Amino acid sequence: MQLFVQELQHRVRQWREEGYNGIYPETRNILAHIESNNFLHEPQREALETYIYLKEIQNNRPVPEIVADFSGESTDFLKVLGFEQGVIELWGDLSKEKRTERIQKKLEELGFAEYGYANYVLALTMGAGKTILMGVLMMYEFVVSFHHPEDTRFAKNALVFGPADTGIVEVLKEIKTFDYGSVIPREYEDILLNVKYWYLEKPETPLNPLGNYNVIVSNSSKIILRNWTDEHRGNRLFELRKESTNKRLLAIQGLENLAVFVDEAHHSYGEDVSKKLNQSRKTIHHLAENTNVVTVANLTGTPYVQNIMLTDTVYTFGLQQGVEKGILKQVIVSNHGSSDDVQSEDFVNSVVEIFWKEYGEGRITGRLPKIAFYTTDISMLEQLEENLDKALQKRKIALSKKVVWHSSFTGDRKKEADYEFNRLDTPESEKQFILLVNKGTEGWNCKSLVAVALYKNSTSNNFVLQASCRCLRRIGDNSVKARVFLSDENYRVLNRELENNFNTNITHLTGRPQNEVQVDLVVEKKRTVKVKRKLVEILSSKKIEPEQIKIDLKKVPEKRLIPIIQEREIALSDDGKAVYRDPITVTSDAVETHERQFGFYDIAALIQKKTHLKFVEINKVLDANGISRKDLVKAVEKNYLVIHGIADQILSQAIAYEKKETIKEETLELTKAFPFKINVKRELQETDTDAFARSLVVYREQEEQDGRTSRLGFHVNPYNFDSKDELEMFHYLRSHLKDGEQVKDVYFTGGITNEKHNEFFFDYQENLIDGSHKLSKYFPDFLIETSFGRYVVLEVKGADEELTYKAEKERLEKGELSKHQITSNPLMKEVGFREFNDLNSDFEYRIIFNGTVLSHQQKVVDAIQALNA
């Protein structure tokens, strides 16, 4: 029910904004670790939060109970459940028991089932990372159950069901191989190391789980509960099959606190959700009756079966959202006539023409773009291959660029086909045209697949949907659109399947704008930098009596802080023509200001907020310094900064510390805890060919393809620049810094402003607009390393910040401006660097305004040459 999902997500968001109240400390640590590492996709994080909310806030209750609670609080729910208006108007007159009884009856009519255990459906579209999410949910369960073994809401063992009657898809093996350090704090590493994995790929694979923290991965057919009829009695084959499955069921039934995870869960509900559940679901019910099943988490690409939302759905992230969020490629779907039309030489020739023109051999993150042709049998495959060969030869495209795979292949041919198929999504693969029969649909993850063509009219509606979606997985900066080529009939089938399974259609899907792009940052060169830092150890502290604190109103600046203002204008000249007037600086004398009205208690409250002294202590400080309330109010009304001046003086004296200062050399990592994800926003008016935000995400492979090769830069890939100034400066440095200048490397460090991933930063004092200060972290734009062990720290700013910076720097050097009065952010950072530079003389600082100007770029190169002279 869509309204329930919306209300649940609203409550989860509110819970997040209020600080995740009501959860275990271990859970809070996991959420904080995930936020700082930023590894998970947004839908993965939201689905995890929903799961935790249901577990710890909703007490792991079944969905019908939660829906009943929500319904009792909202008339909107009562309307959606189908209650008549007259009943709703009299709802408040009913007793709580009557209301609960009526709601439960209505929920049963709508298909909400009482399983006796919590059953949740988490629907995330393909490419959003369901397998990783599944693993994270398991490890969350294990960590909490380890630290709180008495809490029966949490699992100590896990069973993973893949789709029935298939092999264990390769992606499910990622549950074991994934590095959970990106999502689980290191302090819980020992728990994860004790997890035992059992992959039941064959009927004879033994299952002997020991103790707790077992993860059993299978498909339901290998452990399914079956009813054996009399006709099979005495048949040794069936007896063996029964014996094998029963042994596995018995082993699983012996596990304590079991969580069941169902992959591609829409299969386990069957084609018609109104009919009795299929064998997979029966097996889960059987396990629940014979052991303590704490939760069943169903992960699926869609919450819809035949356009009906599964009643246990608690989170959805659909196909359209995947396109909008940049998790999936944007797509163009085209229809090309009847079945006879698409099974023709003309169709193949047209598809190859479009594919080669739009994609050609332009590599995407180092991989060649690919198109998959799907067909039904060997004879049709041979016809397709013949037509494809003609189309390739016509364009002088090497026939070696194709790969053919069919399930009937044997021997060396099968080995070769498997080898080429399995390495398609690698830079080493030269294959671009893939011909498939009975291969490459659900579970196939080839990001460099940018197009599919169905050389057939399928008898399976699901096949059309699965095959058409294979090319949607995101690659690189996701600037490449996918292409789907269909017959008229398959076009209609796809449209119908999108409506039934994703509550969308081709028109809506292909018309969705991409609002943001998700980018994976990976390490190309692992780099560290050695620096010296001052460590201050507090040995003891003593609070000073208020009467001993000295304050002086004269130490407070006399003048208000008025930022320098630049004014530009277009005005009429004396002869009536429009003219542009250059920027002028407006000083404090030219700005009209008004004194503010304060009462003594207002001022005392502000001082108290900054110093945390009691009101009576503030009075004692003022009395000891002979400052009357009237004098204080008068001084503050004349200059608001008096409040901050007094507070700073109090803070510097309120506690006497015995300190020990030591200088320590540290090794800082520029590439820590990689890979991780970043989101790059796009403006709605941007086009696909000229999207500003995406143009600032630069891949090494694309640079090399465009002829910009250099040994310098790309310690991580890609670089995500903030401005054209930074990008142009980077291009200039790569092209003009040669080996002769003895530059070891150039690192763009300003794009990673999280110390969890980049430890190279300086602390600096940031002056806020209200006159207060805070300690902030400054991540420089560029770090240039020379062969002499010396470094240049380079900051690149736009031209609009130059005037204020220069004016304030001049006043600062003349002593007319204090550190606390600086309003130019670049100057604040430069002052912070100077304090770092006192201990690290091997680092030089340069700031460039308007990095697109050639002469400004050359100044940086000159500075590096002078450094090495």
Condensed to tens digits (0 to 9), the pLDDT of residues 774-818 reads 888 999 999 999 887 889 999 999 888 999 999 999 999 998 888
pLDDT of 233 over the 80 cut? no
Residue 772: which of 644, 653, 671, 603 has the closest Cα? 644
Mean pLDDT for 260-279 is 61
> DSSP letter at 473?
B
Mean pLDDT for 375-385 is 89
- On the 0-12 / 13-18 / 19+ scale of CB atoms within 10 A, 256 is middle
> DSSP letter at 54?
I
d(CA 343, CA 697): 41
| Residue 675, preceding peptide bond in cis (omega within 30° of 0) | yes
Distances from the Cα of 781 to the Cα of 15, 788, 793, 797, angstroms: 36, 21, 8, 9
Q: Are 451 and 473 in contact (CB under 8 A)?
A: no
Assign 303 a pLDDT band (cuts: 50, 70, 90): confident
Assign 132 a pLDDT band (cuts: 50, 70, 90): very high
| pLDDT for res 229 | 41
Mean pLDDT for 418-429 is 93
pLDDT of 80 over the 70 cut? yes
> Which tens digit of pLDDT belongs to each residue from 169-225?
566 788 888 889 889 998 999 999 999 999 887 777 788 888 899 999 987 656 655
Q: Are 617 and 580 in contact (CB under 8 A)?
A: no
**Higher per-residue confidence, 361 vs 860:** 361
Residue type, 651: L
Q: Based on C-alpha coordinates, what's the Rg of the chain?
A: 33
Q: Are 368 and 432 in contact (CB under 8 A)?
A: yes
d(CA 384, CA 345): 8
pLDDT of 394 over the 50 cut? yes
Strand-pairing partners, residue 295, are 118, 259
Q: Which of 614-618, 658-662, 677-681 has the lowest mean pLDDT?
A: 677-681
**Higher per-residue confidence, 703 vs 84:** 703
Assign 695 a pLDDT band (cuts: 50, 70, 90): low
pLDDT of 30 over the 90 cut? yes
Residue 795: which of 867, 849, 718, 727 has the closest Cα? 849
pLDDT of 341 over the 90 cut? no
d(CA 40, CA 416): 36
d(CA 23, CA 582): 59
| pLDDT for res 557 | 56
Percentage of residues in the chain with pLDDT exceeding 70?
84
| Domains contained in the chain, CATH given | 2-62+115-317 (3.40.50), 323-514 (3.40.50.300), 531-663 (no CATH), 669-868 (3.40.1350)
| pLDDT for res 512 | 66
Q: Are 95 and 270 in contact (CB under 8 A)?
A: no
d(CA 652, CA 583): 41
d(CA 21, CA 41): 23
pLDDT of 709 over the 90 cut? no
- On the 0-12 / 13-18 / 19+ scale of CB atoms within 10 A, 331 is buried
d(CA 616, CA 529): 50
**Higher per-residue confidence, 289 vs 260:** 260
**Residue 603, C-beta contacts closer than 8 angstroms, at least 6 positions apart:** 632, 633, 636, 643
Mean pLDDT for 539-558 is 81
| pLDDT for res 516 | 67
Tokens 């440095």 belong to residue: 733
| pLDDT for res 591 | 40
Q: Which of 85-89, 216-220, 388-392, 765-769 has the lowest mean pLDDT?
A: 85-89
Phi and psi (nearest 5°) for 641? -70, -10
Q: Are 514 and 478 in contact (CB under 8 A)?
A: yes
DSSP line for 235-262:
-HHHHHHHHHHHHHHHHHHT-SSEEEEE
d(CA 857, CA 850): 9
> Which tens digit of pLDDT belongs to each residue from 98-128?
877 787 787 777 777 778 899 999 999 988 8
Other beta carbons less than 10 A from residue 231's beta carbon: 8
Task: Kindly report the average pLDDT of the chain as a whole number.
Answer: 83
d(CA 208, CA 198): 9
| pLDDT for res 396 | 95
> Which tens digit of pLDDT belongs to each residue from 472-511?
998 887 889 999 999 999 999 999 989 888 888 898 888 7
Burial profile 624-637: b = 16 or more Cβ within 10 angstroms, e = fewer:
eeebeeeebbebbe
Mean pLDDT for 515-525 is 80
| pLDDT for res 567 | 43
d(CA 473, CA 481): 10
Quick one: CA torsion of 632, 637, 640, 644, rounded to 10 degrees?
10
| pLDDT for res 255 | 92
| 3 state SS of 273 | coil
Q: Which of 149-158, 480-489, 547-556 has the lowest mean pLDDT?
A: 547-556
DSSP line for 184-200:
S-GGGHHHHHT-EEEE-
| pLDDT for res 578 | 47
